[in-house]
């Protein structure tokens, strides 16, 4: 194994990038052979990464230990569910089944807008970016800009509404308070760069803290709620928030928390109730202000997360039923 490990060590970064993109161990072995002439078995790739992870004292990623085909299927399920849920919350009209056909078969759905297809492809690419960030120790603004470029792909160019940069005009949302419509502004465009510098510093301190489900839930809620409270982009903030808030979960070996389109109203109510309770954020304000509505949001998130764990349990039952060890 020592000679095998020395062969693989020089390609470790590449191995991890391939694995995080959803490639099976067998596919990785084939890719190494094609790119570098390294003849290695898929079991050797699995063992090498497993030993390295144990030596680094970091938890395994949630899909590890499953047979290659089941792992691939599981990753596809998460990609479809995550993409459909996040885009449908923002008004995308593709159904879950249609989203799956677009992503897995490259089909065009008759009667559905081109924009909806592009949003789905863009979100799936953004998931790939998130997987690529797993080995990065610190996030920076460019990482967020890249995610924004994915989810806002093909958007019209507008100097006041830049794609891949902070907003340059005010934005807000309308809700109802005491039976009357109320418009609530987010952070001002002038305050946004400084607020996001603070947000990135605090977020980076939290990236490796999702060591248990409860801690993961807390850090997801913090990242998500503070990001949408600032609303740093002219549009696409919810999609980016639901992507980036999952990074510490994945780093902690936990599955992504996917918010379903069916619960869109309850989800938006949670965001509105918190925003309405704590008010507009200024440049020197606390990023997250304690409020009872935050506990309601966490309860909602906990319920939504159950679906992810059920998918993983189902995958392991499938593997066990046919006698697959890994």
Q: Which of 117, 123, 231, 263 is catalytic?
A: 231
Cβ neighbors of 113 (< 8 A, separation 6 or more) are 93
CA dist 222 and 219 (Å) reads 5
Give the burial string for 183-208 (b: 16+ CB within 10 Å, else e). eeebbbbebbeebbebbbeebeebbe
Q: In terms of Cα–Cα distance, which of 207, 203, 206, 50 is closest to 135?
A: 207
Query: Which residues pair with residue 174 across a beta bridge?
Result: 183
Sign of CA dihedral 140, 254, 273, 234: positive
To the query of whether residue 84 is one of the catalytic residues in this protein, the response is: no
- Nearest-10 crossing angle of helices 192-206, 213-230: 170
DSSP single-letter state for residue 196: H
State residue 37 phi and psi, 5-degree precision.
70, 20
Q: How far is CA 313 from CA 256, 310, 316, in A?
A: 14, 5, 5
* E strand residue ranges, the chain: 172-177, 180-185
Cβ neighbors of 101 (< 8 A, separation 6 or more) are 107, 109
Region label for 215, one of left (φ > 0), alpha (ψ between -120 and 50) or beta (otherwise): alpha
> Is the separation of the CB atoms in 164 and 149 below 8 Å?
yes
CA dist 81 and 150 (Å) reads 17
> Is the separation of the CB atoms in 268 and 151 below 8 Å?
no
**Residues labelled as active-site residues:** 231
């Amino acid at each position: 194994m020592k000679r095998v490990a020395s062969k693989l060590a020089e390609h470790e970064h590449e191995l991890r990038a391939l694995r995080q993109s959803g490639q099976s161990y067998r596919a990785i072995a084939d890719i190494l052979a094609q790119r570098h002439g390294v003849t290695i078995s898929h079991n050797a790739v699995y063992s090498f990464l497993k030993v390295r992870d144990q030596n680094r004292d970091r938890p395994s990623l949630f899909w590890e230990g499953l047979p290659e085909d089941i792992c691939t299927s599981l990753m596809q399920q998460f990609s479809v569910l995550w993409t459909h849920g996040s885009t449908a919350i923002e008004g995308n009209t593709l159904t879950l089944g249609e989203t799956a056909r677009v992503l897995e078969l490259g089909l065009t759905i008759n009667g559905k807008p081109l924009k909806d297809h592009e949003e789905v492809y863009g979100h799936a690419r953004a998931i790939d970016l998130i997987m690529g960030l797993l080995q990065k120790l610190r996030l920076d603004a460019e990482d967020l800009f890249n995610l924004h470029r994915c989810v806002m792909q093909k958007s019209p160019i507008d100097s006041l509404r830049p794609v891949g940069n902070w907003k340059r005009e005010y934005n807000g949302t309308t809700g109802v308070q005491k039976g009357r419509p109320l418009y609530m502004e987010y952070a001002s465009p002038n305050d946004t760069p400084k607020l996001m510098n603070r947000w990135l510093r605090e977020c980076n301190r939290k990236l490796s803290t999702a060591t248990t489900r409860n801690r993961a839930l807390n850090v997801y809620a913090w990242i998500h709620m503070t990001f949408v409270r600032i609303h740093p982009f002219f549009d696409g903030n919810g999609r980016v928030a639901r992507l980036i808030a999952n990074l510490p979960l994945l780093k902690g070996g936990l599955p992504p928390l996917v918010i379903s389109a069916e619960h869109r109203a309850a989800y938006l109510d949670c965001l509105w109730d918190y925003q309405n309770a704590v008010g507009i954020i200024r440049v020197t304000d606390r990023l997250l202000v304690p409020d009872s509505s935050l506990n309601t949001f966490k309860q909602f998130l906990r319920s939504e997360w159950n679906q992810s764990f059920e998918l993983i349990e189902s995958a392991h039952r499938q593997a066990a039923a046919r006698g697959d060890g890994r």
